[in-house]
């Protein structure tokens, strides 16, 4: 008696087919890739039986619009009736896996036994007429999306191979457009080593009539520059001006890395076109080059990587890791070679793709040593390459953050101090690493406090004279938790400089958050803030060399002391690009009004500040 608690999983075939065909692939267009791939695999399989046999694929479009039928014909290995039951009729079963597991290596592109189902996205029925190269009759298989199929033997004596018939499903007309098909066939099959012919109903042509010599040996690309650039444009739709040939030591993966003609964002998607056994399987492969190589878009052909079922990515395995390292090395060594033989070309690449170059330099000291003189940085002298800086300086200061740089920049440039803004990604790290690759130079992190140290102190007499006024000024800014320091510094045109300790910077951020938070959150932030307030002081340096500041500190200007100091404070905040809170905005607005009022009445009196 059977055990009443044992049941068998039931598979809803039409549901499965729907999921696989509509949700595995990003676009119904990929049906063309899947049928082409099967044709290519069938030719590979036949090649294993007959070595000097010449494969070919023929695609024919009959009818038009809703009445279109597409026929994909190959002279590959074909199928016997046994093969049909085993491989065609069993979802997930494939004749191509052999001994290899899903992620192991095979001579074929397919392996999952599901690709053909993608045809149900564009056709309500798949008809296959096939005859095996191993012998047997010509067979017709008809598969339906509900999971049923029929087989019958045909009287016609077809030569070995397979024809797949797809009839346009309602709403899929666009996938049967002749131009669309021709473009797709070229896209997927441009690199295939045998002819792909397409008959659009009126005329026939070989889609991949030209196959470049440098596909076999990418080094030949160097002497065919124009052709390589044009080929890249045709396949990738972008006008490139430079490229780097790629090849791994085994030669099983090779390609062309086209240098992007425009600067790219660090987070931009890096999608490369990857051909497996010379057929395009992915135009979205992201993980095939090292992260730093985001300045290139590649055409890569390989026979050793394993695609995932959607074909959009490759298995992240040891082999992929090795390939990625080797391709990265090919790009890196070409750049290093350029430094010697073609420095102008390298400089052009660096100008356009400094970020990518810096990303590599941070992880590769040798590369950094070779290219460092061309890398650009933002400095208090403007945008400068390291080479330009090193001509005049053997001691370079840098900040760690953008905030620190903002605080320092006015004073540092007024004192002719070269400071590199280390606030952008990689820059501070590269500055810290610079002495390791160039022994002639010393680099040093600069803090805002270090710059203010170079201010000139007042004389004891001045300090005495200005004591009372400084106290008043200090009181004016107490509610902003900012203290006043009266100094002399350059440039004289700069009346005030605002600096922020780490703690007061945190407090400013907390307060900014509090202003836009809900009540509960704002009370939590409030209690957090009050525990910091005791010590969180910022400093406003006032410059006694500045004529306006000097006038404010002269006797007789007490009346406007508070407003003037408050205005200098908000002005210094703006100069340092600090976001202002509500209170500070209010001070700015009222201050402006009061100055207008003063100006008007002073104008009436013929007086001025």
Ligand X SMILES: Nc1ncnc2c1ncn2[C@@H]1O[C@H](COP(=O)(O)OP(=O)(O)OP(=O)(O)O)[C@@H](O)[C@H]1O
Binding residues: 34, 38, 74, 162
Distance CA(98)–CA(596), nearest Å, equals 87
Closest of 76, 72, 55, 78 to residue 139, by C-alpha: 78
CA distances from 316 to 145, 280, 289, 501 (A): 33, 19, 12, 46
Question: 498 pairs with which residues across the strands?
Answer: 540
Our CB check for ligand X shows the closer of 165 and 258 to be: 165
Handedness of CA 588, 593, 597, 602 (dihedral sign): positive
CB of 58 to ligand X, least distance (A): 12
Our CB check for ligand X shows the closer of 94 and 385 to be: 94
What are the residue ranges of helices labelled H in 396-482? 402-414, 427-437, 448-452, 460-476
Our CB check for ligand X shows the closer of 166 and 494 to be: 166
CA distances from 550 to 54, 83, 536, 579 (A): 93, 97, 28, 28
Our CB check for ligand X shows the closer of 128 and 168 to be: 128
CB of 21 to ligand X, least distance (A): 11
Beta carbons of 566 and 509 less than 8 angstroms apart: no
Our CB check for ligand X shows the closer of 87 and 315 to be: 87
Distance CA(510)–CA(443), nearest Å, equals 33
Beta carbons of 453 and 505 less than 8 angstroms apart: no
CA distances from 571 to 385, 496, 574, 575, 578 (A): 32, 8, 5, 6, 10
CB of 159 to ligand X, least distance (A): 13
- Rg of the chain over all Cα atoms, to the nearest angstrom: 36
Beta carbons of 197 and 290 less than 8 angstroms apart: no
Binding site for ligand X (CB under 6 A): 34, 37-39, 42, 74, 76-79, 87-88, 94-96, 110-116, 162
CB of 40 to ligand X, least distance (A): 9
Question: 143 pairs with which residues across the strands?
Answer: 126, 149
Our CB check for ligand X shows the closer of 82 and 607 to be: 82
Instruction: Determine the 3-state secondary structure of 479 from DSSP.
Output: helix
Our CB check for ligand X shows the closer of 110 and 591 to be: 110
Count Cα neighbours of 559 within 13 Å in the Cβ-side half-sphere. Answer: 6
CB of 118 to ligand X, least distance (A): 8
| Residues annotated within a binding site for ATP | 34, 38, 74, 162
CB of 306 to ligand X, least distance (A): 10
CB of 254 to ligand X, least distance (A): 23
């Amino acid at each position: 008696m059977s055990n009443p608690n044992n049941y068998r999983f039931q598979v809803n075939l039409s549901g499965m087919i729907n999921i696989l065909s509509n949700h595995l692939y990003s676009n119904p267009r990929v049906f063309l890739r899947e049928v082409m791939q099967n044709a290519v695999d069938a030719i590979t399989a036949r090649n294993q039986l007959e070595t000097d046999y010449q494969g070919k694929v023929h695609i024919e479009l009959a009818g038009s619009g809703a009445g279109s039928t597409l026929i994909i014909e190959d002279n590959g290995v074909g199928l016997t009736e046994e093969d049909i039951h085993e491989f065609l009729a069993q979802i997930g079963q494939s004749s191509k896996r052999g001994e290899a597991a899903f992620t192991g290596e095979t001579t074929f592109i397919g392996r999952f036994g599901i690709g053909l189902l993608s045809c149900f996205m564009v056709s309500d029925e798949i008809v296959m007429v096939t005859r095996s190269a191993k012998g047997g009759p010509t067979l017709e298989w008809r598969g339906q999306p509900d999971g049923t199929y029929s087989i019958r033997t045909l009287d016609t004596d077809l030569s070995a191979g397979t024809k797949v018939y797809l009839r346009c499903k309602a709403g899929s007309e666009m996938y049967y457009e002749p131009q669309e098909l021709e473009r797709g066939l070229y896209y997927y099959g441009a690199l295939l080593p045998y002819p792909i012919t397409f008959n659009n109903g009126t005329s026939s042509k070989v889609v991949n009539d030209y196959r470049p010599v440098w596909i076999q040996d990418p080094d030949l690309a160097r002497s065919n520059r124009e052709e390589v650039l044009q080929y890249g444009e045709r396949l990738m739709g972008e006008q490139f001006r430079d490229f780097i040939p790629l090849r791994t030591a085994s030669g099983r993966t090779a390609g062309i890395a086209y240098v992007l003609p425009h600067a790219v964002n660090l987070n931009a998607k890096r999608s490369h076109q990857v051909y497996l056994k010379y057929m395009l399987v992915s135009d979205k492969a992201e993980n095939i080059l090292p992260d730093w190589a985001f300045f290139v878009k590649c055409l890569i052909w390989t026979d050793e990587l394993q695609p995932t079922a959607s074909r959009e990515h490759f298995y992240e395995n040891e082999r992929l890791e090795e390939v990625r390292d080797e391709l990265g090395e090919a790009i890196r060594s070409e750049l290093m070679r350029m430094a010697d033989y073609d420095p102008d070309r390298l400089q052009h690449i660096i100008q356009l793709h400094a970020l990518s170059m810096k990303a590599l330099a941070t992880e590769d000291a040798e590369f950094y040593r070779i290219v460092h003189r061309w890398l650009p940085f933002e400095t208090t002298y403007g945008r400068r390459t390291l080479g330009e800086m090193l001509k005049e300086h053997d001691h370079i200061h840098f900040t760690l953050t953008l905030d620190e740089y903002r605080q320092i920049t006015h004073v540092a440039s007024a004192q002719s101090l070269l400071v590199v803004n280390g606030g952008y990604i990689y820059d501070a790290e590269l500055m810290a690493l610079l002495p390791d690759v160039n022994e002639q130079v010393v680099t040093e992190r600069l803090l805002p406090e270090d710059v203010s140290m170079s201010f000139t102190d007042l004389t004891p007499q001045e300090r005495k004279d200005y004591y009372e006024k400084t106290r008043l000024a200090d009181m004016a800014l107490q509610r902003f938790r900012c203290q006043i320091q009266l100094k002399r510094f350059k440039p004289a045109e700069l009346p005030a400089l605002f600096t922020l300790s780490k703690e007061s910077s945190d407090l400013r951020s907390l307060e900014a958050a509090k202003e836009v938070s809900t009540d509960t959150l704002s009370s939590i932030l409030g209690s957090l803030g009050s525990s910091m307030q005791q010590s969180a002081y910022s400093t406003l340096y006032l410059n006694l060399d500045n004529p306006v500041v000097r006038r404010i500190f002269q006797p007789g200007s007490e009346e406007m002391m508070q407003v003037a100091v408050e205005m200098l404070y908000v002005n210094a905040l703006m100069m340092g690009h600090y976001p202002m809170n509500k209170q500070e905005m209010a001070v700015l607005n009222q201050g402006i009004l009061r100055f207008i009022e003063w100006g008007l009445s002073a104008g009436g009196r013929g007086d001025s500040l």
